A = this chain, B = another copy of it.
Amino acid sequence: MRYELYYWPSIQGRGEFVRLALEDAGADYVDVARRPKGMQAMMHLMESRSVKKRPFAPPFLRAGELIIAQTAMILHWLAPRLGLAPKSEAARLWLHQQQLTISDWLVEVHDTHHPIGSGLYYEEQKPQARRRAQDFRENRLPKYMDYFERLERGKTLSYVELSLFQMIEGLRYAFPRAMRALEPEYPRLVALHDRVMERPRLAAYLRSKRRIAFNQQGIFRRYPELDGR
């Protein structure tokens, strides 16, 4: 099966969580919007009235006739097919529940630089971003880190661990100072991050041009004024 991934071509964003699973599994996939005319194809699927099960927003995945959106749901559907999740329903639900909590976490990361409106520029909401980022660093970030640090993990790696790797990577990019201060309290998450990064296919991907660099248009952005002191 050749999968088609649809996501904004210039940022890691939410698409990256799906990309990491596809890459780690060595799956056959096309990153549609990064190809010629790919953006048109993506916008068509989102806007055309002829598409019955239209996604609200990217990322979405096309697998044969099926078009599925919502990052956590894509992974819930895809990962057992990639060998990145068990097939038992209870185990799959537990992974999905964790991934949905990661999605909530990611929204809060985004809102540190866009507390007032996602359609406005960062420069239009800087003082508010500073306050929201402070609340995030001091309250929300440790709450999520505590939660995932203490959870028991299965013996075999799943897509949830790939996503936790990406969260740590992104948080280190966006909040290097805050993360340096926090990380000593989260040895299991740090070890998990390192273990994921050493997986051969993932390591090759991270070195490749397919991995878009973090940048100031993505969800994780480095604004030193949001990183505290």
Interface residues of chain A, those whose CB is within 8 Å of chain B, are 49, 52-56, 66, 68-70, 72-73, 77, 90, 93-94, 96-97, 100-101, 104, 107, 111, 115-120, 125, 128, 131-132, 135, 139-140, 144, 147, 150-152
Q: Is the CB of B117 within 8 A of A49?
A: no
CB distance from A167 to the nearest CB of B (A): 14
Provide 12 A-B residue pairs closer than 8 Å at the C-beta atoms, listed in order of the A residue. Answer: A52-B152, A54-B151, A56-B101, A56-B147, A69-B101, A70-B96, A72-B100, A73-B100, A111-B115, A125-B131, A128-B128, A128-B131
**Cα distance A151–B53 when bound, in Å?**
7
Question: Are B52 and A73 in contact, CB atoms less than 8 angstroms apart?
Answer: no
Contacts of A66 in B (CB 8 A): 90, 93
CA distance A93 to B72 in the complex (A): 12
Q: Which residues of B contact A90 (CB under 8 A)?
A: 66
C-alpha gap A131/B104 in the complex (Å): 22
Kindly list chain B residues whose C-beta atoms are within 8 Å of the C-beta of A70.
Answer: 96-97, 100-101
Q: Which residues of B contact A94 (CB under 8 A)?
A: 53
A66-B93, A104-B107, A115-B115 are known; give 7 further A-B pairs, CB within 8 A: A56-B101, A70-B96, A73-B93, A77-B93, A116-B132, A118-B140, A125-B131
* Nearest B-chain residue to A139, judged by Cβ: B119
Known: A53-B94, A93-B68, A128-B128. A119 touches B135 (CB 8 A): yes
> Smallest CB-CB separation from A93: which chain B residue?
B68
Q: Tell whether, in the assembled complex, residue B119 and residue A116 are in contact, meaning their CB atoms are under 8 Å apart.
A: no
Measured between alpha carbons, how far is A144 from B150 in the docked complex, in Å? 36
If A56-B147, A128-B128, A150-B49 touch, does A97 touch B116 (CB 8 Å cutoff)?
no
Kindly list chain B residues whose C-beta atoms are within 8 Å of the C-beta of A132.
115-117
CB pair A117–B135 under 8 Å, yes or no, is yes
User: Are A116 and B117 in touch, CB under 8 angstroms?
Assistant: no
> How far does the alpha carbon of A144 sit from the alpha carbon of B118 in the complex, in Å?
14
Closest B residue to A89 by beta carbon equals: B77
Chain B residue numbers with a CB within 8 Å of A49 are 150
